[in-house]
């Protein structure tokens, strides 16, 4: 007996939805992805959650009687009567590349960060990234923390990030906040990072922002 037959025999409530323009009738207890499988669409093995790793199945969702369109994850979106779901497919950004082994010490992490992610300091604080995040992460705060060299704190905010790229598409500056979070987590694990305030002061000294009085005399 298939799962589909079992659900029918249990008398589960069926709802009518549209997924990628296709009309589907399926039990209300199913997610958008499960509804496709229930309707007979093929499962692709060794991909995403079927491989044991999140496939970041991002979707646009519009509920019946509501004109608002929201971004969510297909596996976490339970279908509802009259719901419209559209799966999003877009390439991942390729303009941020780096190798941790090329960063000689933790003293250089913040300088390297601004070379890799120069747009991070241009955040408009529009909160589009926060609104688009299906995991409810305070994305904007994480980017701000990373830009100030507080990579450990930034990384902790992005622990639940599934790299769906929705925050990137919502960002007018194309900051790629999820990649900022990934960088923060990686460097925190790779280095025992020094205090961010100390690193900022040393960078200021290198740029001539502060005067150093070696003799101890007042300037």
pLDDT (0 to 100) of residue 118: 92
Residue 46 corresponds to which tokens in the numbers above?
Answer: 């060794």
Compute the distance between CA of residue 74 and CA of residue 61 in angstroms, rounded to an integer. Answer: 9
CATH number of the domain where residue 160 is located: 1.10.1060
Q: Which of 65, 87, 109 is the last residue of a domain?
A: 87
Q: Are 164 and 134 in contact (CB under 8 A)?
A: yes
Residue 10 belongs to what domain range? 3-87
Compute the distance between CA of residue 194 and CA of residue 121 in angstroms, rounded to an integer. Answer: 21
Overall residue count recorded for the chain in this entry? 219
E strands, the chain, where?
Answer: 14-19, 22-27, 58-62, 69-73, 84-87
The pLDDT confidence band at residue 173, using thresholds 50, 70 and 90, is confident
Residue range 119-126: mean pLDDT, rounded? 92
Instruction: Report pLDDT digits (tens) over 40-59.
Output: 887 766 556 666 666 678 88
CATH number of the domain where residue 45 is located: 3.10.20.440
Phi/psi for 193 (5° steps) reads -65, 140
* Domain membership flag for residue 95: no
Compute the distance between CA of residue 155 and CA of residue 147 in angstroms, rounded to an integer. Answer: 12
* Domain membership flag for residue 117: yes
Tell me the whole-structure pTM to 2 decimals: 0.66
């Amino acid at each position: 007996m298939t799962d589909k037959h079992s659900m029918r025999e249990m008398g589960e409530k069926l709802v009518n939805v549209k997924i990628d323009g296709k009309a589907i009738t399926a039990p209300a207890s199913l997610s958008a992805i499960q509804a496709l499988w229930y309707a007979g669409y093929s499962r692709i093995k060794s991909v995403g959650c079927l491989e044991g790793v999140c496939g970041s199945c991002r979707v646009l969702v519009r509920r019946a009687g509501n004109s608002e369109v929201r971004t969510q994850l297909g596996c976490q979106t339970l279908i509802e009567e009259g719901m419209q779901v559209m799966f999003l497919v877009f390439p991942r950004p390729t303009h941020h590349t780096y190798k941790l082994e090329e960063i000689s010490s933790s003293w250089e992490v913040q300088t390297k960060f601004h070379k890799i992610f120069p747009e991070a300091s241009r955040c408009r604080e529009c909160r589009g990234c926060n609104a688009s995040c299906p995991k409810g992460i305070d994305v904007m705060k994480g980017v701000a923390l990373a830009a100030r060299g507080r990579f450990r704190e930034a990384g902790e905010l992005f622990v639940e990030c599934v790299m769906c790229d929705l925050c990137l598409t919502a960002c007018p500056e194309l900051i790629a906040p999820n990649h900022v979070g990934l960088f923060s987590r990686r460097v925190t694990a790779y280095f025992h990072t020094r205090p961010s305030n100390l690193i900022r002061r040393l960078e200021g000294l290198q740029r001539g922002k502060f005067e150093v009085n070696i003799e101890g005399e007042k300037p």
